[in-house]
Amino acid sequence: MESSSASDAAVRMNKSSSSSSSRWSVVPLSALTVTPPPPSHSFIKNTCTNTLYPSLCFRTLSSVRLDLHHHTNNHTKLHHVLQYSIHKTIKRVTKSRSRIIANRHNNNTWVDNCIELLDQTLYELQESIKPLYPPPYNLDSPPPYATIKNLLSAAMTNENTCIEGFSDNTETRLGHYFQKSLTPIMRMISNCLAIINYIETNISTPASTTTQRLLSKGAFGLDHVPSWMTAADRRLMQIPPKIIPPTVVVALDGSGNYTDITAAILDAPNRSTGRYVIQIKTGIYYENIVIPRQKANIMFVGEGMNSTIITGSKNFVDGYTTFTSATLTVIGNNFLARDLTIINTSGPEKHQAVALRVTSDAAFYHCQFISHQDTLYAHSLSQLYRECAIHGTVDFIFGNAAAIFERCLILVRKPIAGQKNVITAQGRLDPNQNTGISLQDCTIMAAPDFPVAERDNFSTFLGRPWRNYSRTIVMRSYLGDLIDPQGWCAWNKYSSLDTVEYIEYMNFGPGADTRNRVQWVGYHNNSTTDVEKFTVQSFLQGANEWLKSTDLPLCSGLYAKDCKKDSAQLHHVLQYSIHKTIKRVTKSRSRIIANRHNNNTWVDNCIELLDQTLYELQESIKPLYPPPYNLDSPPPYATIKNLLSAAMTNENTCIEGFSDNTETRLGHYFQKSLTPIMRMISNCLAIINYIETNISTPASTTTQRLLSKGAFGLDHVPSWMTAADRRLMQIPPKIIPPTVVVALDGSGNYTDITAAILDAPNRSTGRYVIQIKTGIYYENIVIPRQKANIMFVGEGMNSTIITGSKNFVDGYTTFTSATLTVIGNNFLARDLTIINTSGPEKHQAVALRVTSDAAFYHCQFISHQDTLYAHSLSQLYRECAIHGTVDFIFGNAAAIFERCLILVRKPIAGQKNVITAQGRLDPNQNTGISLQDCTIMAAPDFPVAERDNFSTFLGRPWRNYSRTIVMRSYLGDLIDPQGWCAWNKYSSLDTVEYIEYMNFGPGADTRNRVQWVGYHNNSTTDVEKFTVQSFLQGANEWLKSTDLPLCSGLYAKDCKKDSAQVY
């Protein structure tokens, strides 16, 4: 299509600047290469039909005839076509630049800026043609097309930026002259991009059909980062800033080599191939800094976001263009910066006021960018922002670079009257540019200066299309409640909305509900196909080579399919990832303890959860260290996933404890500290998922492969639940030999259960059986982590009763209200009842919380709201009874309830009954709730006459990836026809997994069930992996030594077909 007019970007550049521009020398064409002979008309005519401007393409390429019939393949021909197209574009830019300089009679600063942009364009075109001249052309090793596209995309952006500077006077002679001169150049570059796209899409080559092909189709160009960001560079971005050796030091107090940053840059060597590190000490530096093109490989190292601050105040109202208003302008290539803040202090009334403009390959780590409108101008080339903070109001992340923002905090400020907040404004000009903005694992929320009371007065959108082919992706990010339900908005009434590409994927939070999003053709949500190419992994071409020398995970993308399929190598990647997570948890725990000045009970609980997390991480890494790695006997990945899943759940539980005060300093501190840990654990889980899914090994292709796909982790029960343990769960309780006896009448070793637990040996490897005789035990019992392998044996559900009454209304959290809390691993219990007697008016009141591997048989759990908290790890409940009202089976363990009686009680007025509330946090956690062969019905205290006054649902999603299965169970008539309900209006319903299979009874009719994407009924494929048989890896071996049926799965197909053995 024709180049869009500048009318829809008038706000961007409409004033001339008084800043001076530096002259750059341009490499003569003769010094670059010999002019290639153009190909023949017959071939180029077909090629040009694939461009946006075929007539211009044909005129450009057909000036000289050349017979190419002696070339044997089209790829070679197209290679020469591309060479010649870029060569002709360079000539056109050179000619236009000369004419502009010759006709420059008035003192117009924006003309100087345009000449500077033309110089940059020439540089990028010359760089793009260099890889096309390694003679002879080798089909097996084609040029780095993705890199070439990135350079051409930047060149096109430069020309458009120049035209925009005259947007208010395009009808004047000067504006019209520039538009007339530069529009053909943009179209010629567009044609070059289209030719590359045609090569990659239609010509089969070894590189273009694998990683490079994927990258070129939309990876934004960051694939070439390894070519400039050396292993040494990456280490500089990882180690603490204090130990980075500086080349020079800037300090306001005169203790360094310079007192201002600009002087340090001017003295840096031109076109340096080595890293030039400028350490900038604590202070506020009032400078507008430009790093010119000849100053390559510079790195800024500050002393912290709140310590090293660079500030300026240029803005649109005071006569600067958006392009020239930046506090820091980066043009010199391969720029790095970390641990500092860049501010434009102009204020919202001054409109466009850029803090940072980047026109180069650059990476930023632990940096902060603060302004209002147009804070961060990601102008062109490829850029990575990791763990940064960006503050602003209107279009405050904008430009046409290939820009990834990973784990960044995006803070929306209060705008001025009449404005709306827009986070991104991406400016992709052409469908073949590999540019865009990708926000990954970010947090988007209101800034502290945007109070809740005023947020309803201003709409806040994720983005709007600055140009016709605008492309923005928001993935796996927290979206605060200020996000408008539509999500995105048009630039103006003339915006072309059919050609944009806007994607949302697996976001969460109150602003992540996509049900009322825009209905544009180019808007998509939760499509794996759409987002796969926009992850960091996809961006980084050659990742296997350079990532080995860094602290980055090898398989860091949404999928790791581009990783080398080497199990041993991936094994070490997993080792290292868990090791780094352990270090992060240890550091966070130490800081929390050091800064704990107030007497806050929940902080103590969080420290306890961090201890549990450390234990589970350490246990998860142990199986990864039996040297040497043996492909024929890989580690127990399902067990490791279960431990990692539990560790993630612990961190989330801590954060939830501050859910009522997340805006306070303490709550925000914990959220900030622990969220990165959860994400690191998520990455570890994703690496295991990749290994199990893509690496063919004897274990991963059989039982373990099935288990990893959703068996909730109970596959490892045989490793701790010995044949003797299982027999203890089967024989009559009276003949079980106890280690100690608890009896209220004094006939045993103890009269209370807590005393028996305290005297149990720590970290016992043998079973410690506590027999609890008939009686009502008024105790709140905790089995701590060091008390492993304990077993409770009661004398019957109606005989041995443990009771407590802690609850939410009386000041306890859900987590701390349990009558019985089990943390010590490998716990067994049978033939007893656990009650929380608080009553329904006291809301959350847990009877049992389990944070360990545990199994229960013939037990009863009674409360109202939140009866049974299956917090984490793997749990089996067989032939038990659970009574409750709201979310009374909940948590994020891998929990099976087999042949259980589930009794729904009468709730209080205004409540609805919900049986399950599963809290799976991550798609790779092997957790969930599975109800098998159960009976679900009304409790005796819920009379028929009152059941119509209260809805009863099978479950609701406590977290985005909630997973619950109800199979082969009796569903009573109290079950609502919809079956399931949302947690609230913000629930993410597209990522849940809820399954019903072969249930029966009056509540089992599925014809009016919810229509959610993740809801399925009566699918054998869906449920087979959730049976006990599938859960219990190696079941055939250990089940023989128990009284359990040998063939307990959905089918008996895995049993040995030997009738004598089965009997």
Report, as residue numbers or ranges, the catalytic residues.
395, 887
CA–chain centroid gap for 674, Å, is 15
The neighbour count for residue 225, using CB atoms within 10 Å, is 26
Q: What is the CA radius of gyration of the chain?
A: 33
Regarding beta strands 362-370 and 382-386, do their DSSP bridges make them parallel or antiparallel, or are they unpaired? parallel
DSSP-assigned states of every residue in 841-904: GG-B--SEEEESSEEEEEEEEE-SBT-EEEEESEEEEES-EEEESEEEEEESSEEEEES-EEEE
Peptide bond preceding 627: is omega within 30 degrees of 0, i.e. cis? Answer: no
Torsion sign (Cα): 965, 725, 871, 868? positive
Q: Which helix (H) or strand (E) holds 754?
A: helix 753-759
CA angle 373, 21, 355 (to 5 degrees): 20
Q: Are the CB atoms for 988 and 513 separated by under 8 Å?
A: yes
The most distant pair of C-alpha atoms in the chain lies apart, rounded to whole Å, by 109
Q: How far apart (Å, rounded) are the C-alpha atoms in residues 298 and 293? A: 11
Q: Are the CB atoms for 850 and 829 separated by under 8 Å?
A: no
Q: How far apart (Å, rounded) are the C-alpha atoms in residues 1029 and 352? A: 63
Q: What is the 3-state secondary structure (H, E, C) of 607-655?
A: HHHHHHHHHHHHHHHHHHCCCCCCCCCCCCHHHHHHHHHHHHHHHHHHH
Q: What is the 3-state secondary structure (H, E, C) of 101-140?
A: HHCCCCCCHHHHHHHHHHHHHHHHHHHHHHHHCCCCCCCC
CA distances from 405 to 217, 344, 475 (A): 19, 20, 10
3-state class (DSSP) for residue 236: helix
Q: How many Cα atoms sit within 13 Å of 854 on the Cβ side?
A: 34
The neighbour count for residue 731, using CB atoms within 10 Å, is 10
**DSSP letter assigned to residue 1040:** T
Residue indicated by tokens 């961190």: 651
Regarding beta strands 740-742 and 501-505, do their DSSP bridges make them parallel or antiparallel, or are they unpaired? unpaired
Strands in 421-426's sheet, in edge-to-edge order, are: 289-291, 328-330, 356-359, 376-380, 394-399, 421-426, 460-465
Q: Which amino acid is at 933?
A: D
End-to-end CA distance of the chain: 76
